[in-house]
């Protein structure tokens, strides 16, 4: 059983999609970010960085934080969604780090400054950078169906961020390959369920309370 500490955010959805794709049994616990719950002492004992997502694997007792590390842990545990040969693994890892180091942070800053009218210079900078990153993805997807050979953790890492930037007002109009990739993946049943976690999930059977798992 995987205890999944999550929220309705891009990084939380990444974990939910991975759990739904692998079919691992899990319990989803949604933290209230608005109320600062990730910074509560019980949660910082799990993740010293005070951010979701975090998992605890009750089979092993292992706690994992940082969504990219979680994707890799779950891929290794299940033998799913990550190639076995080292070249193909590296291809997937490049995109996982691209998301964690570039697409995620730049998009997050774009959203932050989008909500604050007075910071137009910062908004312009982050909007330009996000669009550049969308172009990098679009170019890659002009050559291939998925980011790293077969459907993998690379696609799962990036997908919720492409959803997010669209809800934050960006369009994929000039990124037709990325747009097609997004449409195809967003229609996958596991992705549809993952976007709704903890509601409407097949595998997330219960919601745990902080005291249970702290």
Ligand X SMILES: N[C@@H](CCC(=O)N[C@@H](CS)C(=O)NCC(=O)O)C(=O)O
Binding site for ligand X (CB under 6 A): 9-12, 33, 38, 51-53, 66-68, 100
Q: How far is the CB of 131 from ligand X (least distance, A)?
A: 21
Nearer to ligand X, 41 or 87 (CB): 41
Residue 204 per-residue DSSP state:
B
Q: How far is the CB of 98 from ligand X (least distance, A)?
A: 12
Nearer to ligand X, 66 or 184 (CB): 66
Nearer to ligand X, 38 or 194 (CB): 38
Nearer to ligand X, 40 or 122 (CB): 40
Tokens found for residue 120 = 């137009």
Interatomic CA distance for residues 3 and 15, integer angstroms = 11
Q: How far is the CB of 157 from ligand X (least distance, A)?
A: 9
Instruction: Identify the CA nearest to 20 among candidates 68, 93, 74, 91.
Output: 74
Task: Answer yes or no: are the C-beta atoms of 1 and 60 closer than 8 Å.
Answer: no
Nearer to ligand X, 57 or 66 (CB): 66
Sequence-separated contacts (24+) of 174-180 with Cβ below 8 Å: 174/138, 175/134, 175/135, 175/137, 175/138, 176/138, 177/138, 177/139, 177/141, 177/142, 178/134, 178/137, 178/138, 178/141, 180/141
Q: How far is the CB of 174 from ligand X (least distance, A)?
A: 26
Interatomic CA distance for residues 72 and 168, integer angstroms = 28
Q: How far is the CB of 164 from ligand X (least distance, A)?
A: 9
């Amino acid at each position: 059983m995987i205890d999944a500490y999550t929220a309705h955010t891009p990084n939380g959805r990444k974990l939910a999609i991975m759990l739904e794709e692998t079919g691992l049994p899990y319990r989803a616990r949604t933290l209230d970010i608005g109320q600062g719950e990730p910074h509560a002492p019980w949660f910082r004992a799990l993740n010293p960085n005070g951010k979701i997502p975090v998992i605890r694997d009750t089979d092993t007792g292992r706690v994992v934080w940082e969504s990219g590390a979680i994707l890799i842990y779950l891929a290794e545990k299940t033998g799913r969604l990550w190639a076995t040969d080292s070249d193909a693994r590296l291809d997937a890892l490049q995109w996982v780090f691209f998301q964690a180091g570039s697409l995620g942070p730049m998009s997050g800053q774009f959203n932050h400054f989008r909500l604050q009218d007075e910071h137009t210079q910062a908004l312009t900078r982050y909007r330009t950078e996000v669009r550049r990153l969308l172009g990098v993805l679009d170019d890659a997807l002009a050559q291939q169906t998925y980011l790293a050979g077969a459907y993998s953790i690379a696609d799962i890492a990036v997908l919720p961020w492409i959803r997010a930037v669209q809800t934050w007002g960006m369009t994929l109009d000039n990124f037709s390959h990325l747009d097609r990739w997004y449409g195809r993946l967003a229609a996958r049943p596991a992705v549809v369920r993952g976007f709704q976690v903890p509601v409407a999930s097949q595998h997330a059977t219960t919601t745990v309370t902080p005291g249970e798992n702290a």
